[in-house]
Structure 1
Amino acid sequence: MVLKMGYHLETYLFNPPFASLPRHFIKSEKLRGGLHFAHTVVKAGVAVGMSAVVKNMKIAEDKEEFSVLSPWIPYLFINPLDTICAGYLEHFRQSEKKAAGGAGEIARFAERNSVRSMVSNAWGKDSKPSHLIPSAYVILDLNRSPDLMVAHKLRQWWRPDLKLDYKLYQLDNK
């Protein structure tokens, strides 16, 4: 609704799926950062390469769609132990680090594209990297979950002993 009609509805998303490798389980910050950097470079390279090979393939090189999404700030309720949605937390944390470190154009270009969208576009389907939202309130469930199934269930958000932390992430849309 944001991209097509310009409506910025107040949105609450519980355990929203984010297709990514579960890097958050890697304890070493350096290794996680290195994998994220390698993924960023490869994704940017694939986007440029596919746009050169597939005629009329639109990559999110221009920042228009990312800018249109910027005023929309959904509330993402995430359990950091949930591998299905923890990719959002990693996405925002790494993007924040890139912004603080003065990330270059390759990093900005890569964060506006998704492999899923590029593959869909290559097959002739119009696909937008809509899961790569530029801003969100990320609300974390700090309670320990015994396994993935419990970490992904909706009922965790109605526990009487709920311990939460939150942060507003607003990525640079330059």
Structure 2
Amino acid sequence: MPATNPLDEKVKHGLRFAGSVITAGPALAPKGNSLRSRSEDPFAILSAWTPCLLVNPADHLCSEYVGYFEHRKKMEEIGAGAIERLANQHSLGLFMSVVGRGAEAAEPLHLFPSANLTVNLTPSQDFKQAHGIHQWWRPELHLKCNLYKYK
């Protein structure tokens, strides 16, 4: 598995930060009853559930979970946790409906409020190995586990 470039990681974090601010912005605008109550918000409803996610950084289909939860952690560390929590509660569909495009955008079903994230750091030969379930049966696994709880 190739080493990640620190500059690439900074760019990704910057893009995620900008996306969080853009997504959270419309939620702050006074719009009467247009925002869902907490009891109707799918993100809030899911917040008590903590699924176990098993991912491999070389698996491009699932590896973004690592970036997603790391980004949330970084936002907390720099004091922007409230922005990130607000952005996570409100989908990009809300932003698009405010600017008048795609009012019925789909919910971001790939986002979890909480997760027990297990990352397989054992090198993989290719995508098939990185995505396959058989990788989790190997005896020489190098794993990193983190619990991310939504506040």
TM-score w.r.t. the length of structure 1 is 0.63
Cα distance between partner residues in 1 of 2:38 and 2:83: 13
Give the 4+ runs in structure 1 shifted more than 6 A.
116-119
Instruction: Return the match for 1:107 from 67, 81, 84.
Output: 84
In the other structure, the counterpart of 2:108 is 129
In the other structure, the counterpart of 2:58 is 81
TM-score w.r.t. the length of structure 2 is 0.71
The one-letter code matched in structure 2 to 1:155 is H
Tell me the SS of whatever aligns to 2:48. Answer: coil
Cα–Cα, structure 1 residues 143 and 61, in superposed 2: closer, same or farther, change >3 Å?
A: farther
Contact 2:23 / 2:95 at 8 angstroms: preserved in 1? Answer: no
Unaligned runs of 5+ in 2: none
Q: How many residues align?
A: 140
Unaligned runs of 5+ in 1: 1-24
**Alpha carbon RMSD of aligned pairs, Å?**
3.3
Cα distance between partner residues in 2 of 1:66 and 1:26: 32
Q: Percent identity?
A: 36
Tell me the SS of whatever aligns to 2:6. Answer: coil
In the other structure, the counterpart of 2:45 is 68
Cα–Cα, structure 1 residues 92 and 60, in superposed 2: closer, same or farther, change >3 Å?
A: farther
**Alpha-carbon offset, residue 161 of structure 1:** 1.9
